[in-house]
Structure 1
Amino acid sequence: MAENSAHGLDSAVRREMSSSRAYLAGFIALIVAAACAYLLLESTLQAVGQPAWLIDPESAAEWTARLPEGTNQGLLGLVGAVVAMAGLALVIVAVRPGRRGRRSLPGRRVAVVVDDEVLASALARRARAAAVVRPEQVTVVLSDREATVNVRPTSGLPVRGEDVLAATEAELVRLAPEPYPQLRVRVEGTGVIGA
């Protein structure tokens, strides 16, 4: 990443690796706009002397002012907890940077960003070679901080997890992705019938 910053590419890498909050912000804005439009509709109906469409705004305001009188305390607490959790989740989403399934690789003159699927494919190829199995017998799952290599050996042919771990670790060191995932290898106890 230090090499990229010398050429001014670190902001491009950061932009490619982080996801936009525009969809979530638009969704929340749509909900707020729909609630405001509904309140405007009910207020307009009340102003022209028509019956309320769903809830009379004046009755709703009076009911809210009387809370918690006549309301089940447990239900009120549950609704409050749900609203508080939703608010906390929105604050966390707003503060934490979004992350796409991508990682940066070191490059001297260009910014290199690869999808996690590409990195998983490279790790799976090295794991297959080390375990001497077919492609469908190896899966790699990448998360933010971890890469898990799952190997199903061929029946009767044992697979050494240490060899697979060494080969995939060497591939990770060669590629040097950022953020660098913690590598785990799982060799399943049941094998598949060889072709």
Structure 2
Amino acid sequence: MSDFMTRVLRRETHSPRSGWSVVAAILVALAAIYALLESVLAALGQPAWLVHPLDALTWIADLPGPYPQILLGAAGFLMALVGLIFLGNGLLPGRRPRHVIDNPRVAIVVDDEVIASALAKCARVAAGVTREQVMVVVSARLVQVNVRPTSGIRLSEQKIQAAVESQLADMELDPRPAVTVKLASSGVIGV
């Protein structure tokens, strides 16, 4: 696969960071504009709009001052949490709920809901149950198949898992998720 196709597939399967970048830029710009406004008002000898810059710096220098430590701790924790959210969104890979089908000629990206639908049909046929009795959840590394059997009819987890794994192998997904099958302990009344 070419470098161009690899970049296109990565762009389609990973979420962009532009939203968080815009939020961070807006917050920094607002803080800078406010600081500039207060500085200009102080230089012109006008009263402060909200807080005089020297008063704000003095207040920061005098912390913790008369304020309750629990309040300052909570404010610090909240600021650290916001910082960690921004840092995490900047460094961690953001995955979209999509998989790539390995093909040397074309780039194929499939939504996880489509994969889940196909695997649910496969599991339903292998188990011999109705559509409402099968639920499949597909994530980046795991396919979880939940089956509620019909009361009085035994189902084989291995048979369902083999059918789903065979269907998954035919799809040639990249990355290929592992399959787990769970049978519910209580069944539904057959029609």
Q: TM over 0.5, yes or no? A: yes
Partner of residue 24 from structure 1, selected from 20, 23, 27: 20
Deviation at 1:84, TM superposition (A): 2.5
1:9 is aligned to 2:9: no
d(CA) in 2 for partners of 1:8 and 1:52? 55
Aligned AA (1:58):
L
Residue number in structure 2 paired with 1:103: 99
Q: What is aligned with 2:152?
A: 156
Secondary structure class of the residue paired with 1:107? coil
- Residue aligned with 2:167, SS: helix
Letter of the 2:126 partner, please give it: A
Give secondary structure in 2 for the equivalent of 1:149. strand
Find the counterpart in structure 2 of residue 38 from structure 1.
Answer: 34
2:54 alignment counterpart? 58
Q: Which amino acid aligns with 1:143?
A: S
Query: Residues 94-133 of structure 1 correspond to what in structure 2 (within 5 A)?
Result: 94-133=90-129
Residues 63-119 of structure 1 deviation map (CA, whole Å, 9 limit, x = unaligned): 001122333333323322332333233222212222111111111311111111111
Partner of 2:78: 82
Measured on the aligned residues, the alpha-carbon RMSD in Å equals 2.2
Higher mean displacement: 113-122 or 135-144: 135-144
Give the distance between the partners of 2:168 and 2:141, measured in 1 at CA.
13
Share of identical aligned residues, percent? Answer: 46
Whole-Å separation in 1 of the counterparts to 2:52 and 2:4: 58
- 1:193 partnered with 2:189: yes
Query: Match of 1:139, SS?
Result: strand
TM-score (norm 1): 0.85
* Structure 2 unpaired stretches of 5+: none
Provide the TM-score with structure 2 as the length reference: 0.87
**In the superposition, relative to structure 1, how do residues 8 and 66 fare at CA in structure 2: closer, same or farther (>3 Å)?**
closer
Which runs of no fewer than 5 residues in structure 1 stay unpaired?
Answer: none
